Structure 1
Amino acid sequence: MQTETQPTPNKPKQPRQFVRFTFFKLDPQWQLLSAETRQQGKQELLRLFEEYADASLMRSFSLFGLRSDCDFMLWQATYAVEDVQSVSSRIRRSAMGPYLRETHAFLSMTKRSVYVGKNARGAHDPRLVITPDDKKYLFVYPFVKTRAWYALPLADRKRMMNEHIRVGLTYPTVSLNTTYSFGLDDQEFVVAFETDNISDFLDLVQELRETEASSFTLRDTPMFTCVAQPLAEILEAIGA
């Protein structure tokens, strides 16, 4: 007599995060409003920021004086794309909203890399969760590889990426957060490096240019140098 075997239930997959890097430029017309109006607008924006920062990942960075097209950036990570929309909607509908222009925005998701071995820590994979090191500087840029890269055998791509990874490991002061945008946005990846030493990052990028994998880069601009700073200090510094 044959006994029926019950199918093994699939293990629930670890959820992945949606990530958005949003760059803002403050319209100088905001500074022409009364001090009382500007103070109320700043406090409204700060309350909104703190509300989302308490519920999910939200970090603020300044870029004023470093780029002419943006004053600050918000780095957000959440498990629902609707949360990303909610933040954008509430900023737009705030008192400062009409004076804050989104000059750049990159949408991506966390994902396991095909070039890195399986996670040795068990079911929880830290690569699927954005956990910033909270270092002083963050360098962000969109990244696109050539189609010729994807036509190569996986073994060849892994060999070249192993060289790429070895170079990165020689700069322990620089940590990397890579997220994926295939089909979600114009780029394929969003790369975000954290460090307390700008010169280490510059040297790392220059050395990576000499690796074999670098020849398959189609686009890796614009690049953004971001300084970790509380949003209240940023708004004060830009005259908000």
Structure 2
Amino acid sequence: MELDEQKAKLPRQFVNFTFYRSRPEWRLLADGDKQRCIDQFVKAVDDSRRQLLIHSYSTVGLRTNVDFMIWRIGSELEPLQEMTSRLNATEMAKYIEPIQSFLSMTKRSMYIDRDNPEHVEDRLHIIPGKSDYLFVYPFVKTREWYARTADQRQEMMDEHIRIGTKYRSVKLHTTYSFGLDDQEFVVAFETDHPADFLDLVQELRETKASSYTLRDTPMFTCRQRSMPECLAALG
């Protein structure tokens, strides 16, 4: 009961995933100039950790249009904007560009996890960065989904949830974007075992709820690395 009361007092969180790619000019710089840019950028990121939870991920070699991602979580929007302004003022900003950004918030789920009721509360407060890999994508349901009754949707989600509980190595973070961004949800899966995530997604494709998916791309495969490691991997 005491734990439930503590969770209830936690503020809802704003969540942002921003994906960056490097420009060709970056690889033409001298090594000393690159290191100076990296050091300044890393300091700007670290200066924002007092107000935000920040985790960095490398996507080098995993997609052709993105090189790294920064996952940021905070209780207010202003620190997200302040951090972005700080990053834009660095020398590194001349050589990288954001190519995708997802904004969302934590929220109590409208569906009941009958096997793990605590999972509902977990969605209000994210503690990220516990696994080597993160898989992120936007998610939009069809209008037909919302035309179904609450009981019909819960029944379909029961199947969805049962499958998810089979893959204990995969941790799901569902956040909500209604009115905040183009998608309705942002889903992020943490795991140390990418094969388990692949098998989970393939099995979920066969559920009845899956037929009500309008969009669930682009999908990003991300490997957790320190900010200096992410930038060093740019070449």
TM-score clears 0.5: yes
Alignment partner, residue 134 of structure 2? 138
Deviating more after overlay: 46-55 vs 106-115: 46-55
Aligned to 2:48: 52
Match of 2:89 in 1: 93
1:187 equivalent in structure 2: 183
| Cα-to-partner distance string for 1:55-114 (whole Å, 9 max, x where unaligned) | 321000000100000000000000111111112111111111121110111000000001
Instruction: Summarize the alignment of residues 1-240 of structure 1 with structure 2, pairs less than 5 Å apart.
Output: 14-116=10-112, 125-132=121-128, 134-239=130-235
CA contact (8 A) 2:177 2:186 kept: yes
Match of 1:8 in 2: none
Judge conservation of contact 2:16–2:102 (CA < 8 Å) in 1. Answer: yes
Q: Which amino acid aligns with 2:55?
A: R
Paired position in structure 2 for 1:5: none
2-structure distance, mates of 1:84, 1:133? 18
TM-score by length of 1: 0.89
Cross-structure match for 1:9: none
Larger radius of gyration: 1
Contact 2:123 2:175 in 1 (8 A): no
| In 1, Cα distance between equivalents of 2:232 and 2:9 | 43
Q: Which whole-Å CA distance do the structure 2 matches of 1:133 and 1:46 have between them?
A: 18
More moved, 183-192 vs 38-47: 38-47
C-alpha distance in 1 between matches for 2:191 and 2:232: 25
What is the SS of the residue equivalent to 1:183? coil
Q: How well do the aligned residues superpose, as a CA RMSD in angstroms?
A: 1.9
- Distance across 1 between alignment mates of 2:113 and 2:200: 23
Aligned equivalents of 2:144, 2:20: Cα separation in 1: 35
- C-alpha distance in 1 between matches for 2:129 and 2:87: 26
**Structure 2 CA distance for aligned equivalents of residues 133 and 71 of structure 1:** 18
Structure 1 residue 120: deviation in Å?
Answer: 6.6
Percent identical among aligned pairs is 52
8 A Cα contact 2:20 2:66, kept in partner:
yes
What amino acid maps onto 1:129 in structure 2? H
Cα contact 1:16–1:129 (8 A) shared by 2: yes
**Letter matched to residue 58 of structure 1:** I
SS in 2 for 1:233: helix
1:35 deviation in Å? 2.9
Deviation readout 1:185-211 (Å, 9 max, x if unpaired):
000000000111111100000000011
Q: Deviations 1:12-43 (Å, cap 9, x if unpaired)?
A: 96421110000000112023233332221110
| Post-superposition offset of 1:130 | 1.3
Q: 1:160-190: per-residue Cα shift (whole Å, max 9, x none)?
A: 0111000000010111000000000000000
Contact 2:175 2:187 in 1 (8 A): yes
TM superposition score normalised by structure 2 = 0.91
Listed as ranges, the gaps of 5+ residues in structure 2 are: 1-7
